[in-house]
Structure formats: structure tokens, C-alpha cells
A and B are shown apart, each in its own frame.
Chain A
Amino acid sequence: MNTAIHLVYLACAVSFVIGLHLMNAPATARRGNQISAAGMAVAIFTTVVVLVRDHTVTTGAVIALVLGAAAGGLAGLIAARRVQMTAMPQLVSLFNAVGGGAAALIALGDRVVSNQAAVTGVLDVAIGGVTFTGSLVAAGKLAGRIPGRPITVPFGRPISAALTLVAAALGVWFVAGDANSWLLGGVTVAALAVGVLLTLPIGGADMPVVISLLNAFTGTAVAMAGFVLDSTPLIIAGGLVGAAGAILTKLMADAMNRPIIAIMAGGYGTGDAVAVTGGSGSAAVREITADDAAIQLAYAGKVVIVPGYGLAAAQAQHEAVALAEALTERGVEVTYAIHPVAGRMPGHMNVLLAEANAPYQQLKDLEESNPEFARTDVALIIGANDVTNPAARRPGNPVSGMPILDVDKARSVIVLKRSLGHGYAGIDNELYADPRTAMLFADAKAGLAALLSGLHAYAS
């Protein structure tokens, strides 16, 4: 019987790996997720069988387990079904928080933390605690409940450092033999506080990196919980997710050309760090009406649409795709150029555009897009800012060295944006002062609707 159970758990772990592997390609991704979900269902069912067979669970524990799981499952289901695609990042962050919280609670609730599991128990509550509050703060920032700007807590860093030392000391004490659960509780409280202090100072632009990192943390915490319980499925799944999160974190950090340590140190995007370099001529920009812009787009041979957070915030993905389709019908070649950190989580733009039925073949990443701009007639930038700033090619400013979309290589540029306001880096975008750039000041949704009606009125 035990062998059979282990083999079933092994099969579940295999389904997680295969599921993740199938998520490598858009065509198979959905099936991959379903295989992984099926493996999960089997793992949970098998665990029910184990509990029933062993007869060791008290009635109280059964009630607590069933009530908690039913309520949580229902809450997760409703939230997942109702969420708007633009609000996806904060929901993923919330699910990440509760996963980390559950992992931490496992070590706290395990009354038979043996000597061999003591180290992993401490790591579990420490990592799980940090990721619980950290992800909640990140979700709050993404949802706009907590201001997205970096919030500096007085003496935040020394306090974090002190708390980390305290947690480490308590952890060592616990491991060294005094298996007092208060020590573990102390580590947890310190970790919860560190999670808040760590995330508050991080600016909104760095959120894609932070939520990847917290995802990796939760995976690791779950693996540690697996050590505590000596449960292979938890160790394997946790390890997989830990690795996935680590890779995504690195990809995101590379896309912004900033070391992960600098991102975690926070404070980026306050806007007062560096004096603006180059043409700060907010007066020098050229404005364009929606109708003129529509005509320019209609008679272009190739248009590249560059979506950014403004598009997500205005929920204008359907309008953007409608415009692209109208242009395609006229014979204009349309593609989307998507910067890796556009939006609020990795690949956020792709999801939004996919929601609006944009064929994924038209979605091009940074490397694919940049050679294309030289033969592009119009680059239409919708609510993107820092990722198009040519200042990134020069040293000495907050965006220096960040890989950007070379929109300034296009024959002309139309920027659809509400104002000349700054992006998260807090500096002027030199692109706007370029003589080939025209500004269309509007909310992304209203502006795109105006472009579309202009297209119908003047170019049909």
C-alpha cells in the first residue's frame, strides 16, 4: 500500500514537470496546465485515501480541514473567475501570499518537529513569513490600495537587518535543541515584519521582478514544508516552482538591466535622484489630433503598436486590437512590440492582447521587434514610457543601460498618452521632443476609439 501511494505521488510529480514543459509553447500551454491540475487532483485524492486508511485524524481536525478547504477553495474559485485580466497581477500575488502563508503554518503546526527537520522548519517559517506579507504588500501596490511609489520607512533597513539577525538567532537556538514552539513563533513574527519592510520601498516599476522573486520564495517555502513533513510531492513541486521563479526573476531583472540586489534595495523611481539630461523641452513637443493620426496610420505600409501600462490601466486592449484589425483589413502590416517589463507582471501585455483576440503571431518581443523599426512607417506607442526612452542608451541617468524598444528608428512616432507625465523612472522621455514624434493626448481607451472612428471617417 505504501509503495502504491509513493508511486502515485511520483506520477503526480511527473505530471507537474510535463505540465510545465508543455507551457513552453502557446499551442500546448493550456493542455499543460490541465495535466498539472489533474496531477494535483490525484495527489489530493491520494492524501484523502491515506488519511482515511490511517484513522489517526481526529473529528475536530477533519472539521477544521474540510471547512477551511471548502471556504478557501470557493474564495479562490470566485476570485479567479471574476477577476479582470488587467487585475491579474495582484490576484496572482495574492494566491502566492496564501501559498507561502500555508507553508509557514505547516511548520508552526507540526508538533513533532524532529531534530532533522528543525533546520527546514526554521527556513519554512522564515521564507513563508516573508513571502506572505511581502506578496500581500505587492498585491496592495498592484491594486493601487497601497501607493505604488517607493515608501521609505524611517530606519527601515537597519530595522530589517536587526529583525533578520533576531530571526537567525532564534532559529539557531531552536535548531540547537530547544524545540520550543515559541522560538519558531518568534522567527515567524520577525519574518512577517521583514516581508513588509522589504516590499514597501520597492517602486511599482519593479513589481514584475518582485512578484517573480516572491513566487520563487513560496516554492522554496513549500519545499521546506515538504522536508518537515517528509513529503516528496511537496519537495518536488516546491523545487520546481522555486527554480521557475528564480529564472523568471533573472529574465525580468536582465530586461531592466538592473541587478536583483539593487531592485530589492528599493527606492527606485522617486524622480528626484538624477537631474534630467537632454532636452527637457516639454514645450517643444508636437501635438496631433486623432483624425490626423488616423490618416497617418491608414496610409502607412507597416505599423508597430507598442503597448504599455497605460493600455492596461485603461483596459483598452480590445480597442487596440480593433484598431489593428481595421488597419490589417486595409492592407497595413501590423505587429505589436512588447517589452519584457511592459505592464505589471512578466508577459502581462501578451495576456491582455490575447484576451482581445490578437493572434499571438503578431506579438513580437524585444529582440524580434527592434530590427523591424527601421522599416516601420509609424510606431504607435500606447501608454508606454520608460521602455521607449532613448536616454537609456547613454550613461548617467536612471534608465541607463536598460534595453529599450528602438521606436525612434521608425519613420514617425505617435505617442498616445494622457499627459507628458513621467514613467516610473521619474525622468522626461527624450523621444517626445524628437521632431518625428507626435503626441496624441488622451486616455488610451478614448484615444484608440477616436483613432478608430477617424479611420472610418477619413480613410474608408
Chain B
Amino acid sequence: MSPLLLADLTVFTLALLVGFEVISKVPATLHTPLMSGANAIHGVVLVGVMLLAATTTDVSGYILLAVAAFFAAMNVTGGYVVTDRMLAMFRSRR
């Protein structure tokens, strides 16, 4: 394994552990917003699509890029907006 891959693997493993630790305490009330919020976070895939653009130089690549950008942007904007809408509704006793 190359040092680069090892470093990535280390980061991934630690991220998994942090995820388990941070999320295992969430009350059932918040399960839907949490899932939706996590869903929005994987919208970071848009960053990946943008990085991919740097190496794309042919027409088939452009088409694939446009579709990927459409998917990723939908994931990230929709995910955050819908989560915010849900959470705005959680309020305390008036």
C-alpha cells in the first residue's frame, strides 16, 4: 500500500469511529432530521464532481460530468433545505 492510500485509510477509519461516537446518542425524536442531515452531508460529493472536472476533456466526459453535477447539486441543496425545514418545526412548549 502506498503512503497516500494508508493516510486516506487512516482518515476514513477515524471518521467512521467519530461518526459512531457522535451519532449513537441521538434521541428517536431527531432520527428523521438526523438522517436527512447526514444525507445532506454526503452532498459533499459535489466537491468530488468539481475536482473531476479538472481532468475531463472529451464530450462523453462532459455529459457524464453534467449528470453528476446535477445529481450532486440536487443532493446538497435539497438535503440541507429540507432538513432545515424539518428542524424549524421543532419547538418547545409555548
Which residues of chain A have a CB within 8 Å of any CB of chain B? 13, 16-17, 19-21, 23-27, 29-30, 32-34, 36-37, 40, 43-44, 47-48, 50-51, 54, 56-58, 60-73, 75-77, 79-81, 83, 85, 88, 91-92, 95-96, 98-99, 101-103, 105-106, 108-112, 116-117, 211-212, 215, 218-219, 222-223, 225-227, 229-248, 251, 338, 340, 345-348, 350-351, 354-355, 357, 359-363, 365-366
Contacts and interface: CB of A to CB of B under 8 A. Distances in A.
Interface residues of B, number: 86
30 contacts: A13-B15, A23-B33, A24-B26, A24-B30, A26-B90, A40-B40, A40-B76, A44-B50, A60-B57, A69-B70, A71-B70, A76-B75, A76-B77, A88-B36, A95-B74, A98-B70, A102-B68, A215-B35, A230-B4, A232-B11, A233-B47, A234-B47, A234-B48, A239-B14, A239-B18, A240-B22, A243-B17, A345-B32, A354-B86, A360-B92
B23 A106 contact: no
Contacts of B70: 68-69, 71-72, 75, 98
B12 A64 contact: no
Given A27-B92, A64-B63, A81-B81, A235 B15 contact: yes
A106 B79 CA distance: 20
Contacts of A212: 35
Given A222-B44, A241-B41, A248 B85 contact: no
Contacts, number: 405
B40 A77 contact: no
B42 A222 contact: yes
A69 B72 contact: yes
B74 A73 contact: yes
Contacts of A232: 8, 11
A257 B66 CA distance: 43
Nearest to B33: A29
A346 B28 CA distance: 7
A359 B94 CA distance: 8
Query: Which of A58, A243, A246: most chain B CB closer than 10 A?
Result: A243
Nearest to B62: A64
Contact of A20 (B23, B72, B81): B23
Given A64-B66, A106-B49, A239-B18, 14 more contacts: A16-B44, A30-B87, A33-B84, A50-B51, A67-B66, A68-B65, A72-B77, A73-B77, A91-B82, A109-B65, A225-B48, A242-B16, A245-B38, A347-B33
B55 A241 contact: no
A47 B72 CA distance: 14
A62 B57 CA distance: 11
Contacts of B90: 26, 29-30, 354, 360
A357 B89 CA distance: 7
